Amino acid sequence: MKITLTVNGRKENLEVEPSTTLLEALRMLGLYSVRKGCDTASCGVCTVLMDSKPILSCCSLAVQAQGHSITTVEGLEKDKDFEEIRKNLLLEGADQCGYCGPSLLLTVYSLKKRNIKSLQEIQKYLVGNLCRCTGYHSQLRAIKEFMEVGE
Amino acid sequence: MKYVKRSIKKVDGYGILSGKPAYTDDLAPRNSLIVKLLRSPYAFARVRKIDTSEARSLEGVECVLTHEDFPRIPFTRAGQGYPEPSPYDKFALDSYVRYVGDEVAVVAAKDEQTAEKALKLIEVDYEVLNPVLDFEFSEKSPPIHPEDGISGVENQQNNVCSAYEMDIGNIEEELKKCAHVVKHRVYTQAQAHVMMEPHAAFSYIDYQGRLVVVTSSQVPFHIRRILSRVLDIPLRNIRVVKPRIGGGFGGKQAVHGEIYAAAVTLKTGKPSKIIYSRKEVFESSYTRHPMRIDVTLGSDEKGVLKAIDMEILSDTGAYGEHALTTLMVAGSKNLPLYNRVNAVRFKGKVVYTNHTPAGAYRGYGAVQGNFALESAMDILASKLGLDPVKLRQLNMIREGETSPIFKIMGEGREGAEMTIKSCKLEQCVELGKRIFGWSEKFSKRPESGTKVRGVGMAIAMQGSGIAKIDMGSAILKLNDDGSFNLLVGATDLGTGSDTILAQIAAETLNVPVKKVVPYSSDTDLTPFDTGAYASSTTYVSGNAVKRAAEKMKHLIVQHGSKLFNCSEEEVVFNGEEIIGPEQRLPLSEFATKLYYSENQTQLCSTASFVGDEAPPPYMSAFCEIELDTETGKITPVRYVAVVDCGVPINPNLARVQVEGALVQGIGMALYEEVKYDSKGRLMTNSMMNYRIPSRLDIGDIEVHFVESYEPTGPYGAKSVAEIGIDTPPAAISNAVYNAVGIRLHDLPFTPEKVLKALRVKEGF
Ligand code: FES
Ligand code: FES
C-alpha cells in the first residue's frame, strides 16, 4: 500500500505492507540512524521522535505514523541543542560502538524541551535506552552538562 | 607527549552519532537476497531425511542448502591464530544437530517474508537423541561428537573437549604444612554478550569474480582464512571488510553467518545478506563458558600464602570453540597475582554439552577464575581475622617480580617468560582504599529497616595481547599534501582503537592527529592483524603503528637529504618542516615536490609487532552494596576501581572501557541469569528475559588511574579492554558476606539465591 510520512519536515511517499514497522520504513528511506537491536521492544536503539516525543519505531506501524511528524537525527543536523548534546557526548568519549548513540541523543534532546532538572529524573527518563558498551556514566556526564543540572 | 595521553574525540564518532551509513546492514546492496537459517528445535538429534522441495518451489526462493550441499570439511568457528588451539569439531552443516539453534539448512529468498515462509516449508525427519544438559555428568554420558573426521578433541568418547594440567612444587605437601587452609567452590553462568548490533554480514561477487564479504566481525583476517577453508576456495579470491561494528565483546571473535551468506552468493552469484535476530544471537552465537571452580588456598598463621590449587570443570556447549584457551586463562591471568607461593597446581577439563556453544567473551576465563580466587581470599582473610586489603598487600605481585606461570601457561600452549616491568598494583590498592573510605566502612554495617550495607574488594590482572602469537601490523603512506594514510589490520569494534592508533602515529611523527587518516580492517587494503581480542590492540597494533611511524620519519629525512643534497645527519624533520643546512621546506611542499617533480617516489613504511610478553594491566576494586534481607535484592551502591594500564593513550576512552566492562561485570554478578528448560531450550533468549543492566541498576561508578610506564608498550601503554569485567563477581560476593555473613557461590546473585542462603544461615 502507498503511504505518506512526514519525516524531518519532508513529505515522503513510499510503498509498504500493512505490517511494515516504522523502523523498516525509515530505513527504506535511507535513514540509517534508526537501528534495530532486539525483537522484544527492550533496547531502545530504534527510538525516533513522533510529534517531539520519543517512541520505539520497532513496535509502531508505518501506516499509523501517517499524519504525525517524525524526527530522526538526520533531521537535526542544524539544530543548536542537538549539536551541543552530540558534541558533549563526543567530548566525554561516551560514544563507544555508537550503535545506541542516535537513539540516546534523540531522547535527551526531547528531554531538554521538557525542562527536567534533576539527575534522578533524567536517569529514570532514559532507563529504556540501553547501552552495552559505555556503562552509562560517561553518557550521564555528557548529559548533565547539556541539561545544566548538578548532582 | 603532545598527542598521546590526550582525551581527543573519536575520529569516527561524529559520523556514527549523525546516523551516517556505517554498519553492515546500512551498506548492504538493496537487492541482496535475504539469507535465513533453519535451526534445530532439539538439543540433540540426527537428521534422517530432509525434504526441501516445497521450499525450493516457493516463488521468490533463490536457493536452499542442506548438509549435502557443503563439502564435509571440519573446522572451528573460533577466530584465533593459526593453527587454532580449538578443535575442528564443526561442519558448515551437519546431519547431527547438537543444540537448540544449531544450523540445519540455509534459505535465500528475495525478501524476509518469503525466506521465513520457505523455512516453514522444509520438512525434516529428526531422530531425537537424549541430550546432555548437565555438564557435571557429561563425562559419563554418551558422546555428543561420535562422528569421524574431526580433530583436536581430547576424548570424544567421554565428551572431554580439552584438558590441561600443570603444577609447580608439591601442592599436597605444602598444604599439609599450612596453618590455614580454605576450600571454596563456585559456579559461573553462560553470560551472553548482548552487543547492541546483532551479528550481520553480506557478500557479493565483484566484477573480477572475487568473493567480497562485509561483516560485523572482530577478526576479518581469521574470517578470510576460515572461509577459504570451509568453502574450499583460494584465500586470494576472498576479500573481507569490516565496517563499523555495534559492539562485540568476544561474541564476534568467530565466524557466524558469514559462511552461509557467502555460500549463497557463490551458488547464486547474487549479493546476499544475513542478519541474526536477537534470538539467534542468544541461542546460536556464543556465550561465556560456564565453569565450576574449586580453589584451595593455604597460608601460614600470619596470612602469607603458601599454596594455591585450582581445579576447573568448564562447559563448552556443543562445540569446543575457545575451550582450552579460556580454561587456561582462568588460571594464567589469576594465579600470578599471588606469585610468591611455594606450590601451585592448576588442572581442568572442558566438556561438551548440548547447550549453546561457549566462546570468547571479554575476560575470557579470567573473570570466572577471579570470582573463585578472590572470594577464597576473602574467606581466608576472615579466617585469619585479617583485613582483606592487608591479605592482598601481604601476598600480591610487585613490579620487578615474576611468576613461573607466565612461562608455563600460555594460550593453548606454553607461554612466555616475563619479569613485570610495570605494576602499580600496590598504589592501586592504596588509592582505592583511601578514595573508597575502606577502613571506616569495613567494620560497620549500616542498617536501616530490612536493608543492610556491606563492602567488599578484589584485585585483578589481565594481559596485553597474546605473547609470541598475535601479530599486528601497520602501513603509513605519505600523501601529496603532507597528510598520512594509516592502514591497519586492527579492528575497531567501538573501542576507539582507530583513534588511539592515529594518536600514536601522530605522536611519533609529531603531526596533528587530523593529518593521520586511519583506515582499518580490510583484507585487500590493510596489512595483517590477528584482530581485536585478548586486549591486544593498544599494545600489539599500537607498537606496530609506532614502528611504522618511526620508519616513516626516517624515510622523510632520507628523501629530504636527497632533495637538499646533503647527508642524512644534516636533516631534521620536526613534524612541520624538513630542515636542511641551508633550506627548510614545509612537509606539504616537500610531499608535493616528491610526488610531482623531484626524485619522484612514494613514501610508504610498514612494520609489524609481536609481543615477546603480554604485560598485564592491574586493578583494585572496592564496592559497597545494599542488601534487603526481606526481598533478597542486592543493590550496588558504589564501585571504585583503580586501574594501572600503563600510560593511557586516550584517558577518556580508557575510562569508558573500564566503566563499560565494570557494568558488564555487575550484570554478570547480579542480573544476567541464564535458564534452560528440561529439554535444553534456552529460555533466556530475548532481551526481555535476559536482563542486562540499565542505568538504574548499577550505582555510582568511579574509575581512577594510577599511571605506570610499560617500557615495552607504545609510549608506556598497556591494554585495558577486558580487565574491568574481572572483579565485580568477587567484590560483590565479598560485600554480601560483609553485610550479612553469607557466601554466594553461584552466579548471578539473584534475590532467590540470597533469600535461600539467608534461610540456611539462620537454620531454617
Ligand atoms: S529494536 Fe529494541 S526496542 Fe526497538
Ligand atoms: S555505545 Fe555501544 S551500545 Fe551504547
Q: Whose CA is nearest to atom 3 of ligand 1?
A: A41
Dist CA A99 CA B216 (whole Å): 12
Q: Quick check: CB of A93 below 6 Å from ligand 2?
A: no
* A134–B660 CB contact, under 8 Å: yes
User: Which residue in B7, B19, B246 is closest to A93 by CB distance?
Assistant: B7
Residue B744: partners with Cβ closer than 8 Å, 6 or more residues away: B733, B736, B753, B754, B757
Q: What is the DSSP string of B284-313?
A: HS-BPPPEEEEEEEEE-TT--EEEEEEEEE
| A71, A96, A143, best to mutate vs chain B, most B CBs in 10 Å | A96
pLDDT digits (tens, 9 = 90+) for B562-578: 999 999 999 999 999 99
**Does B66 lie in the same domain as B37?**
yes
B50: cell is 530432509
**What Cα–Cα distance (Å) separates residue A85 from each residue in A7, A110, B499, B639?**
21, 11, 21, 27
When pLDDT is averaged across residues B207-229 and rounded to a whole number, the result is 98
B195 has pLDDT over 80: yes
Asked whether residue B448 falls in the same domain as residue B505, the answer is no
Q: Which residues of chain A have pLDDT under 70?
A: 150-151
Nearest-neighbour CA in chain B from A140: distance (Å)? 9
B495/A31 Cβ within 8 A = no
Asked if residue B437 has pLDDT above 60, the reply is: yes
CATH 3.10.20.30 fits A2-75, yes or no: yes
DSSP string for residues in B334-369: TGGGGTT-SEEEEEEEEEE-SSSPB---TTTTHHHH
B655 contact A CB<8A? yes
Whole-prediction pTM value? Answer: 0.97
CB-nearest partner of B696 from A77, A96, A123? A123
Å between B20 CA and nearest CA of chain A:
6
Q: Output the pLDDT for position B312.
A: 98
pLDDT of residue A118: 86
Instruction: Report CA B529 to chain centroid distance, whole Å.
Output: 16
Assess B110–A contact: CB distance below 8 Å, yes or no.
no
Confidence of residue B610 (pLDDT cuts 50, 70, 90): very high
- pLDDT at residue B702 tops 70: yes
> Phi, psi (5° rounding) for residue B75?
-160, 180
Residues of chain A in contact with residue B17, where contact means CB-CB under 8 angstroms, are 73, 86, 89-90, 95, 98, 101-102, 105
What residues in A contact B246, CB-CB < 8 Å? 35, 37, 97-99
The pick from B16, B23, B196 for probing ligand 2's pocket by mutation, whose C-beta has the most ligand atoms within 8 angstroms, reads B196
State the residue range of the domain holding B720: 291-466+613-761
- Identify the three-state secondary structure at position B17: helix
Question: HEC string of B639-657?
Answer: EEEEEECECCCCHHHHHHH
Asked if residue B172 is part of any domain, the answer here is no
Give B261-311 pLDDT, tens digit per residue.
999 999 999 999 999 999 999 999 999 999 999 999 999 999 999 999 999
By CA distance, what is B24's nearest residue in A?
A: A32
Q: How confident is the model at residue B373 (pLDDT cuts 50, 70, 90)?
A: very high
B-chain CB neighbours of A16 within 8 Å are none
User: Would you tell me how many other CB atoms lie within 10 Å of the CB of residue B696?
Assistant: 13
Say yes or no: B367 and B451 in one domain.
yes
- Cα distance between the two ends of chain A: 51
B617 and B584 share a domain?
no
Q: In B, residues 476-535, which contact A (CB 8 Å cutoff)?
A: 493-496
What is the CB neighbour count within 10 angstroms for residue B572? Answer: 12
B340-361 pLDDT, tens digit per residue, is 999 999 999 999 999 999 999 9
- Residues B477 and B416 occupy one common structural domain: no
What's the average model confidence in pLDDT over B120-145? Answer: 98
Q: Which of B493, B513, B510 is nearest to B501 (CA)?
A: B513
For the domain that residue B201 is a member of, what is the CATH number? 3.90.1170.50
Burial of B429 (0-12, 13-18, 19+ CB in 10 A): buried
SS (H, E, C) B96-153: EECCCCCEEEEEEECCHHHHHHHHHHCEEEEEECCCCCCHHHHHHCCCCCCCCCCECC
Instruction: Judge: B247–A37 Cβ closer than 8 Å, yes or no.
Output: no
B460 and B552 co-located in one domain: no
Chain B, window 192-231: residues with a beta carbon less than 8 angstroms from a chain A beta carbon:
193-198
The CATH code of the domain that includes B592 is 3.30.365.10
Q: What integer is the mean pLDDT of B325-333? A: 97
Touching A: B residues 112-151, CB under 8 Å: 113
Tell me which ligand sits closest to the C-alpha of residue A41. 1
pLDDT in tens, B462-478: 999 999 999 999 999 99
Q: Quote the CA–CA distance of B130 and B67 in Å, as a whole number.
A: 22
In this structure, the answer to whether residues B442 and B497 fall within a common structural domain is no
Q: Is B697 on the interface with A (CB under 8 A)?
A: no
Is residue B382 domain-shared with residue B503, that is, in the same domain? no
Query: A134 CB less than 6 Å from ligand 2?
Result: yes
- The CATH H-level (homologous superfamily) assignment of domain A76-147 is [2Fe-2S]-binding domain (1.10.150.120)
What local confidence, expressed as pLDDT, does residue A68 receive? 97
Measured in angstroms, the CA of A74 and the nearest CA of chain B are apart by 6
Question: Pocket of ligand 1, candidates A26, A34, A35, A46: which has the most ligand atoms within 8 Å of its Cβ, to mutate?
Answer: A46
| CB of A97 shorter than 6 A to ligand 2 | yes
pLDDT tens figures, B19-33: 999 999 999 999 999
pLDDT given for residue A151 in this prediction = 54
- Determine the pLDDT at residue B764: 64
Contact A32 B26 (CB under 8 A): yes
At residue B39, the 3 state secondary structure works out as strand
Beta-carbon contacts of residue B567 (< 8 Å; ≥ 6 apart): B561
The pLDDT tens digits for B723-739 are 999 999 999 999 999 99
Residues 6+ apart with CB under 8 A from A90: B9, B10, B13, B14, B17
Quick one: B84 and B210 in the same domain?
Answer: yes
Kindly state the average pLDDT of the residues B422-445. Answer: 97
Query: Cβ–Cβ of A99/B198 closer than 8 Å?
Result: no
**B515 and B378, same domain (yes or no):** no
Residue B370 Cα distances to B187, B205, B294, B378, B673, angstroms = 12, 47, 12, 12, 19
Q: Which of A42, A72, A98 sits opposite B16 (nearest CB)?
A: A98
ipTM of this predicted structure: 0.97
State the ligand closest to the CA atom of A131.
2
Domain spans of chain A? Answer: 2-75, 76-147
Averaged pLDDT, B414-424: 96
Report the pLDDT value the prediction gives residue A149, as an integer from 0 to 100: 72
Query: Could you say which residues from 328 to 387 on chain B have a Cβ atom under 8 Å away from some Cβ of chain A?
Result: none
- Say whether both B114 and B232 belong to one domain: yes
Q: Mean pLDDT of all residues in chain B?
A: 97
Angle between helices A137-147 and A101-114 (to 10 degrees): 30
Atom of ligand 2 nearest to the CA of A97: 2
Which residues in chain A are closer than 8 Å to B20, comparing Cβ atoms? 32
Read off the pLDDT band of B211 (50, 70, 90).
Answer: very high
Inside any domain, residue B527: yes
- Say if B2 falls within a structural domain: no
**Percent residues over pLDDT 70 in chain B:** 100
- Residue B591 falls in which region: left (phi positive, over 0), alpha (psi -120 to 50) or beta: alpha
Reduce the DSSP state of residue A1 to 3 states and report it.
Answer: coil
**Is residue B193 classed as helix, strand or coil in its secondary structure?**
coil
Cβ contact, residue pair B13, A98, below 8 Å: yes
Number of structural domains in chain B: 3
In this complex, which of A90, A98, A123 lies closest to B695 when CB atoms are compared?
Answer: A123
In a domain, B173, yes or no: no
- In whole angstroms, what is the distance from residue B526 CA to residue B467 CA? 22
What does the pLDDT average to over B490-513? 97
Q: How far apart are the first and last CA of chain B?
A: 63
